[in-house]
Amino acid sequence: MQSDDDLLTFADERESPLTAVAVHTRKILIVDDDEDVHQATTFALQGLEILGHPLIFLHAYSAREAESLLAQEDNIAVILLDVVMESEDAGLRLVEHIRKHMQLTTPRIILRTGQPGYAPELSAIRDYDINDYKTKNELTRTRLYTSVTAAIRSYDQICKLDASRRGLELIVAASGRLVAENGLQAFAAGIITQIAALLGVGAEGLVCAQEQPTDSEGKEGREPIIVVVAAAGRFAGLVQRKLEEIDSERVRGALCRCLSQKTNLIENDAVALFFPARSGNHFAAFIDSPALLSEIDQHLLQVFCSNIAVCAENTRLLARLHDQAYLDRLVRLPTRTAFIEAIDEHIQTGTTAGYTVGLIDIDQFAETNETFGHGYGDAVLRGVAQRLDGALGESCRIARISGDTFGVLGLSWAVRPEKLRPLLSEPLLIDDEVLHQLSISMGFAHLAEVRSGNDAIKNASLAVKLARTEGPGRDAVYTEEIGLETRERTHLLHSLHAAFQHERLFVAYQPQVDAQTGKPLGFEALMRWRDDKGDFIPPDRFIPLAEQSGLINGMGRWIMRSALRTLHRLAEAGWQGLRMAINVSVVQFQAEDFIDSVAAAIRETGVPAARVELEITESVAMANAAEVEVKLQALKALGVTIAIDDFGTGFSSLSYLDRLPIDRLKIDRSFVANIGNGEEGARITEMIIALGHKLNMALIAEGVEDVRQLELLRALGCHEAQGYYFARPMGADDIGKWLHDNS
């Protein structure tokens, strides 16, 4: 019953030029308990090629035997399966086993039965993906051929689909991996590995080449330079070399043609893939493929290439990001991150002895920026960077650590003030016209004493800070003690915060008296802090901390309110006319809302403003002339009085002092302490008192400890006094009794 149709189909299939798949056999498994059927089938199909594939036959005589055969043999294309064997439905059960339990979806199954009346349920055919169902006597040689051909064709298709699905999965995974690469080098190497995996070939014959960026200016029309960016196997030694150095004309030619034609080249013995890059520096990968690539593989490579173009862009983006994290754009120096990594590298490799990290910090850079503009500031930074790089670029690592701070890492003999200062002592030429004189503060940390790059920078910047406390243009080296001191201060600041929050601060009051009569005139409020352990921490220690951290503003508002409340209570208890002196720190005084906060405290406590005195140190009063004058005027307008604390320790200009609305000068206790020890102490005190008289200001001496000091002060005409001789600072509860005893 052979039909011409059948023959035509065969002829077509055989000559199909489409599939260039390498020659492969197809396995046919015959499962039947009848030996004759085995023989007839092999005889009918023997020597034939189906779709260009020679056939191989496997034989099983029971379902069980078939199971174990299937477990051992891969790639069985077609199973010719008898339905009735050990049992009525042994064949169908085997199908279920294959599809369900073994999860074999690719083999095509042709069911055969000897009993014409016996047909399996349609649903079984559908559910178990059975290719064909025939009664044995229907299966003439031709029919069998047709049926097996159809089965093999669909087997091939299923395999292809499977392969491309897996290939696509590979591509997705490969792209993901490639995206993560930073640096084109790694990216190119990745492409090679991925292609090799994709095609299941070794990376031996793979080369990746890229056109090199040529300077955009005026080099149009030049032959692009092509460089090997990645290679494996016998070409591995050529990475970073020019393409011309590859001795194989075949490889060289394919890559060149691929890049110049900007297209994938799929030739008989080689493949060159083109990876376009937006930058114009395209890639090409050469695959030395002995056998022709299958259609599937070609298709996969196309998909891969277009995916890779996206990856390449991402890689460039990553590289740029990397650049940004490691290179400061403004001054073209490595960044803090890069600097820290460089230090960490030293530490990891154990090369720390004899190395030092230096930080160079420009003094008053913020002011320079504000005064001359940011363009000018940038030019200063660039100038510093150039100086440092020019002088030390070869021997040291230089980086921009932050806004106006530069880092130098190098041998200790080079990284020290004597070597660095001269580099920046000559003025910088800004914008070709202005000469800018720099002042710099520096801090140093020895690498042998740090555990990480972060540590080194932290320590060196502590040293800078310490140097700054001495004024601009200084330097310091980090030491254990500095570290300890800083840690202690940090700890103390934390405790102070907590103490303030939990209201563990309190106020002590020290009487101020009439120097002639000893009668109480008022009190100075002094802050007290007793820590968890019950120890008193002197204000000289915690007030500076509070000032540095800004905590002083809150603390200042609190003590003002507490002290005025105390004053109010005293007045209610009958002690009227007393004043309350409150210390004002620089930070408070400079705060914008300071005047408002004083006004609010007065309003809320209901004390007469005239009974409130603010003690401002001489250094604050002399700082920013115009601003201080305006502020003091505003405070005076509230009705409060102003005393200059620690007077005599600063260098007040007399004419300036005269302009300020000051009520009282408070003679610093250092002069009072020396008043009895020879002429010097007495003379200064005498001058201060004379000055007060001349400027029409009241005078108070602080730190009066004995009667001799008091008598000398009286003799010099000092009106008021305060000191241990009269009373030590006392708790609010003790004031009443003291007033009672001393009035």
Residues making contact with Ca ion (CB under 5 A) = 583, 615, 645-646
- Binding of ligand C2E by 113 (CB under 6 A): no
Q: Are 559 and 503 in contact (CB under 8 A)?
A: no
Contacts of ligand C2E in 664-703 (CB under 6 A): 669, 702-703
d(CA 450, CA 467): 20
Residue 114, CB-side half-sphere exposure with 13 Å CA sphere: 10
Give the nearer residue to Ca ion in terms of CB position, either 79 or 710. 710
Give the nearer residue to ligand C2E in terms of CB position, either 31 or 525. 525
CA nearest 292: which of 272, 273, 267, 274? 267
Give the nearer residue to ligand C2E in terms of CB position, either 60 or 697. 697
Please state the closest distance from residue 542 (CB atom) to Ca ion, in A: 15
Name which position in 47, 290, 538, 678 contacts ligand C2E (CB under 6 A). Answer: 538
Give the nearer residue to ligand C2E in terms of CB position, either 43 or 536. 536
Give the nearer residue to ligand C2E in terms of CB position, either 33 or 531. 531
Interhelix angle 184-199/295-326, rounded to 10 degrees, is 160
Residue 452 phi/psi, 5-degree rounding, is -155, 165
The DSSP string of 40-96 is HHHHHHTT-EETTEEEEEEEESSHHHHHHHHHH---EEEEEEES-SSSTTHHHHHHH
Contact range with ligand C2E by CB under 6 A, out of 52-60, 356-364, 497-505, 536-544: 536-544
Phi-psi region of 583 (alpha: psi -120 to 50; beta: other; left: phi over 0): beta
Q: Are 289 and 269 in contact (CB under 8 A)?
A: yes
Name which position in 43, 172, 724, 731 contacts ligand C2E (CB under 6 A). Answer: 724
Contact range with ligand C2E by CB under 6 A, out of 29-37, 47-55, 534-542, 590-598: 534-542
Tell me, rounded to whole angstroms, the distance of Cα 428 from its chain centroid.
33
Residue 487 phi/psi, 5-degree rounding, is -60, -40
- Binding of ligand C2E by 520 (CB under 6 A): no
Please state the closest distance from residue 652 (CB atom) to Ca ion, in A: 15
Please state the closest distance from residue 705 (CB atom) to ligand C2E, in A: 4
Give the nearer residue to ligand C2E in terms of CB position, either 61 or 529. 529
Cβ count within 10 A of residue 735: 22
- Binding of ligand C2E by 481 (CB under 6 A): no
d(CA 683, CA 674): 10
Give the nearer residue to ligand C2E in terms of CB position, either 476 or 559. 559
Question: Which residue in this structure is represented by tokens 């202005």?
Answer: 434
- Binding of ligand C2E by 527 (CB under 6 A): yes
698's CB contacts (< 8 A; 6+ apart) are 663, 664, 665, 692, 719, 720
Q: Which does 540 bind (CB under 5 to 8 A by kind): Ca ion, ligand C2E, none?
A: ligand C2E
Q: Are 369 and 379 in contact (CB under 8 A)?
A: no
Q: x-or-dash pattern for ligand C2E, window 577-616, by CB under 6 A?
A: ------xxx-------------------------------
Q: Are strands 641-647 and 664-667 parallel, antiparallel or unpaired?
A: parallel
Give the nearer residue to ligand C2E in terms of CB position, either 397 or 557. 557
Please state the closest distance from residue 341 (CB atom) to Ca ion, in A: 50
Q: Which does 453 bind (CB under 5 to 8 A by kind): ligand C2E, Ca ion, none?
A: none
Q: Which does 82 bind (CB under 5 to 8 A by kind): Ca ion, ligand C2E, none?
A: none
| Dihedral, CA of residue 219, residue 220, residue 222 and residue 224, to nearest 10 | 90
Name which position in 74, 540, 592, 679 contacts ligand C2E (CB under 6 A). Answer: 540
Give the nearer residue to Ca ion in terms of CB position, either 615 or 686. 615
Give the nearer residue to Ca ion in terms of CB position, either 461 or 641. 641
Q: Which does 705 bind (CB under 5 to 8 A by kind): Ca ion, ligand C2E, none?
A: ligand C2E
- Binding of ligand C2E by 734 (CB under 6 A): no
Q: x-or-dash pattern for ligand C2E, window 552-571, by CB under 6 A?
A: -------x------------
Q: Are strands 53-60 and 520-530 parallel, antiparallel or unpaired?
A: unpaired
d(CA 632, CA 654): 17
Q: Which residues bind ligand C2E (CB under 6 A)?
A: 510, 525-527, 538-540, 543, 559, 583-585, 645-646, 669, 702-705, 723-724, 729
